[in-house]
Amino acid sequence: MSDIDALKKEKQELIDKMLEMQKQFIDYEHSHGISGKDYWASTEGLLVDYRQEYMDMANRVVDLAHQIVGSTR
């Protein structure tokens, strides 16, 4: 597997995980409701690290996309 293929594979795996996280978030929101406090300052359950984890993955996806095509942010 080439370096580019490995980057593409990692990028797709992250995207797949992000989509699963979105689905879990939507399901949780529909069954429990989510207040602003829950979203921004939750200390338990699905939302504890959700925002930070999702943002980290999204940033990594952008970085990978730039690496794949040879550009910079």
Taking only the tens place, the pLDDT of each residue in 7-59 is 999 999 999 999 999 999 999 999 988 888 888 888 888 899 999 999 999 99
pLDDT tens string 45-54 = 889 999 999 9
Owning domain of residue 8: 3-69
How much is the pTM? 0.85
Torsion of CA 52, 20, 72, 6, to 10 degrees: 120
- Cα 73 from Cα 31, distance rounded (Å): 38
Total number of domains in the chain: 1
